[in-house]
Amino acid sequence: MQNSNSPIITFSSSCLPISKKLHNGLNHVLSKHSEIQGKKSIIVNFRDKSYSAENGGYHPVEIALSQVSDDHYSILYITDFSYCGNAYPELERDIDFDIGNSVVFSRYAGWQSIRLPTMTELYELWEGNFLSYMSMDAYDQIQVECN
């Protein structure tokens, strides 16, 4: 592992305005996982174990990274899940920033081009909330998978 001040990985630029704060947050999480080094793909899952359809809470989030070279990665997708349905709620995709395919899914609008100004606004709103939740330690279960 590198020293605590240097990033574990670097990120490719994206069609979304992904902030350095998000990159730094991901590096902070990944710094605890030496097994990521040299892996072609990394998936980070953020969970609030108390989140439920009845009580709400912080939506689960999954972020997938793909290796471009050595310790340089691009973010493939960011998916936010929520419970949907009345009698038998199920955890479903609420917002999906599919950067790899240049599209965004939202439960209320379906699939749209990631390049629309409204998708940039949606992303900025989502990221601001996510970073706030991270800073509040709202996610009490963070898992990293790689291969």
For position 29, which CATH number holds? 3.10.450.430
Q: Mapping DSSP to helix (H, G, I), strand (E, B) and coil, where does residue 114 land?
A: coil
Query: Is 64 exposed, middle or buried (CB count within 10 Å of its CB: 0-12, 13-18, 19+)?
Result: buried
Residue 72 has pLDDT above 60, yes or no: yes
- The number of residues making up the chain comes to 147
What is the arithmetic mean of pLDDT over 102-108? 96
Mean pLDDT of 85-102: 94
Domain annotation covers residue 2: no
Whether residue 22 lies inside any domain: the answer is yes
What's the confidence (pLDDT) of residue 2? 47
What average pLDDT does the segment 86-104 reach?
95
Q: How far apart are CA 81 and CA 88, in angstroms?
A: 16
pLDDT value at 122 more than 70: yes
**pLDDT band at residue 86, thresholds of 50, 70 and 90?**
confident
Nearest-angstrom CA–CA distance, 54 and 63: 25
What is the average pLDDT across 67-96? 95
Structural domains counted in the chain: 1
State the pairing for strand pair 72-84/10-11.
parallel
For tokens 């912080």, what's the residue? Answer: 58
Structural domain contains residue 128: yes
Residue 7's pLDDT band, with cuts at 50, 70 and 90, is confident
Question: What's the alpha-carbon Rg for the chain, to the nearest Å?
Answer: 15
| Domain assignment of residue 4, yes or no | no
- Domain of 59, in residue numbers: 10-146
